[in-house]
Amino acid sequence: MAKMTKKADLPSKPCAACGRPFAWRRKWAKVWDEVRYCSDRCRFEAKKK
């Protein structure tokens, strides 16, 4: 059985649009350095400006 990792132990960084911190997700494992926004909403808002 795999060891469970607590969410508090995962890496996080601030969103480029809203500034709120967001945590690492498994789907971002290969592209974590390229992820800049916490959500699609922030990504679209940043493109509008």
H or E element that contains 14: strand 12-14
Adjacent-strand bridge partners of 23 = 12
Q: pTM to 2 decimals?
A: 0.78
d(CA 31, CA 43) in angstroms, rounded, equals 16
What is the span of the domain harbouring residue 32?
12-48
d(CA 22, CA 7) in angstroms, rounded, equals 11
Number of compact structural domains in the chain: 1
Answer yes or no: is 33 within a domain: yes
Answer yes or no: is 1 within a domain: no
Answer yes or no: is 6 within a domain: no
d(CA 42, CA 7) in angstroms, rounded, equals 22
Answer yes or no: is 29 within a domain: yes
More confident call, 17 vs 49? 17
Answer yes or no: is 26 within a domain: yes
Answer yes or no: is 5 within a domain: no
Adjacent-strand bridge partners of 13 = 22
Answer yes or no: is 7 within a domain: no
pLDDT for residue 18 is more than 90 = yes
pLDDT, tens digit (0-9, with 9 covering 90-100), for 23-42:
999 999 999 999 999 999 99
